[in-house]
A and B are shown apart, each in its own frame.
Chain A
Amino acid sequence: MLRRNFLATSTALLTALTALPAIAQDEPLKVGFIYVGPVGDGGWTYQHDLGRQALEEEFGDRIETTYIESVPEGADAERAITQLALAGNDIIFTTSFGFMDATIAVAEKFPDIKFEHATGYKRAENVATYDARFYEGRAVMGTIAGHMTESNRIGYIGSFPIPEVIQGINSSFIHARKVNPEVEMRIVWAYSWFDPAKEADAAAALIAEGVDVILQHTDSTAPLAKAQEAGAIGFGQASDMAAFKPSPRVSSIIDNWAPYYIERVQAVLDGTWESEGTWAGIAGGEVEIGEITDAVPAEVRDAALAVKDSIASGEYHPFTGPLNKADGTEWLAEGQTATDEELSQLNFYVEGITAEIPQ
């Protein structure tokens, strides 16, 4: 057999194989996941994997799930996503911002497969996006931080300067300042989603600068461990991080992806799946606030829960004017709220944060 023929045959075979599940109803629906960290990170990826497990529980043998973990963002992601596509998955969830371009590129080559990209903003016919309004949770954390800080310095460990993280920084700061006008914020970029040693060093650096409340936007528990050593407090990120209760972990933002995953896989099974952008928050149950521990005085807890409830009921938006940008120009007028489009491309700090966003 000529080599060229062999390749052509195998490609044809492969195409036939990938198209097969759509025809044969008895075949389980294949659902693929791409994770940025290990499933045991105790944070971001861990929560996505809980969502995957919830799928298996919900649909039983009607579906089959696979995942590839610790996929680096960048060129290698495209290879991993292609691998899942070639393996005959019908729907593939790519669960980190940095997979955005790779997802779009692979989706172009596999028009029959449905893709779902988390936290990005690029969609296509067969690429939907989904995200959670973490900044709503940050508003609650910021309220606690503003009340609890004694040095009036709160710290934020950022991963990468992308809109999602900048929303979190702004939301935390706005709500901390609302309850404590003296508060200032120090920001350290770790340039990683998951690097426990680096995150610990970042927390130690903040503490050395007099910070006593640490908010983190990275996925390991290392900053909490450092906070504990120094008598500072912090919050669980992405997952509850309950091992550090009642202090230093005084509350947490929990990502709950299970309802969304079940809804979307059901849509594929029903044949009603469409490309769209979903962005739910506290109200939709995607963002949960973990237990506020006794390390926080009752009146602070009540204030935090009041913020949470007003966001959940829709009467309050965390980005409500009057708000100015860091350079002093006006962003939102009195009573005006930020649009989703503005937020999804947010690239400036609000007035009061003195740091600069790395460009």
Chain B
Amino acid sequence: MIDPVSVFLMLLSAATPLLFAALGELIVERSGVLNLGVEGMMITGALAGFAAADATGNPLIGFAVAAIAGCAISMIFGVLTQFLLANQVATGLALALFGLGLTALFGKPYEGVKAPSMALGPLRIHWIVWLGLAMVPLIWWFLQRSRAGLILRGIGENHHAAHALGHKVHLYRLAAIGFGGAMAGIGGAYISIATVLQWTEGMTAGAGWIALALVVFSGWRAFGVLAGAWLFGGVTVLQLRLQAAGIAVPVQLLAMAPYLATIIALVVISARRKGSAAPGSLGKIFHATS
């Protein structure tokens, strides 16, 4: 029979890229910005982190560089949407495509190269997984209990009111976008440095889009993101384990299960909730008129 403990340990690993990217996007969206470029930032982090890990032989430096690279590329989006007032949806989509193209170009020399292996943390799990788990209560505390988090949420709900109170809307939002980029970068690097150990073009394979869905799924809450990442990762892992164990369940049904579970959960949640939990100013351009 399938051992539930080992399923859970696999689930932790499978959920990690999604968890990082979705937690980052959570902060971005809570500040009222919709950045659809998560996939582009993840793949940028995956390549930059891999390159740095390869050059230094130290995977942890790889993760640090991935965070910096994800943050840097998110600044393109930040400047375009916050200072040049570009449309967030279009700019975000462009960022996703730009990241994929850019990394395909610069990733050529790294094809076929293998990443240095990394020392595992407790329970034979990467330290980055533990870091991801630690980020959940941290972000919860930041949003719900800290003053900066309160201001950030205020800006996301109503940027005009926050501006009138004297808060610097653009600066807060730029910081949130940068944080989102760094988190997405780490999530992407987890795939290239810790899971696959090689660079391949397009290797994030849509994880950024799933992360975006998880933020909506979570109802814009940190622990909701964790639950969503575990649900999605868990069903993915479980269906593979059922197959490997040779248990006769229709495979198509299993392959469909993660997506199906996510959709069902979304329907149940939105049916129970009155109105939308989305930040009031989400995706709206802010232009200070006074």
Contacts and interface: CB of A to CB of B under 8 A. Distances in A.
Interface of A: 37-42, 46, 70, 155, 186-189, 191-192, 194-198, 200-202, 204-206, 208-209, 211, 220-222, 225-226, 228-229, 242-244, 354-356, 358
Contacts of A200: 195-196
Nearest to B206: A195
Contacts of B3: 208
B198 to A, nearest CB: 5
B122 interface: no
A197 B196 contact: yes
Interface of B: 3, 6-7, 10, 13-14, 17, 104, 107-108, 111-114, 117, 191, 195-198, 200-205, 207, 236-237, 240-241, 243-246, 248, 250-252, 255
Given A40-B107, A191-B255, A205-B10, A198 B236 contact: yes
B255 A196 contact: no
A141 B256 CA distance: 31
A225 B244 contact: no
Contacts of A220: 196, 198, 200, 203
Contacts of A195: 205
B113 A356 contact: no
Contact of B244 (A196, A205, A222): A205
Contact of A358 (B111, B245, B250): B250
Given A40-B104, A209-B245, A196 B252 contact: no
Given A186-B246, A221-B198, A208 B10 contact: yes
Contacts of A244: 114
Nearest to A204: B10
Nearest to B253: A358
Given A197-B14, A200-B196, A225-B198, 13 more contacts: A40-B111, A46-B111, A194-B202, A195-B205, A196-B200, A205-B241, A205-B243, A208-B6, A209-B241, A221-B200, A225-B197, A226-B195, A243-B112
Indicate the member of B3, B117, B243, B245 with the most A CB atoms within 10 Å: B243
Given A196-B205, A208-B10, A243-B198, A201 B236 contact: yes
A156 to B, nearest CB: 10
A293 to B, nearest CB: 15
23 contacts: A40-B201, A41-B200, A42-B198, A42-B200, A189-B255, A195-B205, A196-B198, A196-B203, A197-B191, A198-B236, A201-B10, A204-B240, A205-B237, A205-B240, A208-B6, A208-B244, A222-B196, A225-B196, A228-B197, A243-B113, A355-B246, A356-B248, A358-B250
The 8 closest A-B pairs by CB, nearest first: A38-B201, A225-B197, A205-B240, A358-B251, A40-B201, A243-B114, A205-B244, A196-B196
A211 B244 contact: yes
Contacts of B111: 40, 42, 46
Contact of A188 (B108, B195, B202, B244): B244
Q: Which of A40, A189, A192 has the most CB of B within 10 A?
A: A40
Contacts of A201: 10, 14, 236-237, 240
B206 to A, nearest CB: 8
Contacts of B14: 197, 201
Interface core residue of A39, A196, A355 (most chain B CB under 10 Å): A196
B200 A38 contact: yes
A252 to B, nearest CB: 13
A70 B202 contact: yes
B222 to A, nearest CB: 23
Contacts of B251: 189, 191, 358
Contacts of A198: 205, 236
B15 to A, nearest CB: 11
B180 to A, nearest CB: 21
A103 to B, nearest CB: 23
Contacts of B207: 197
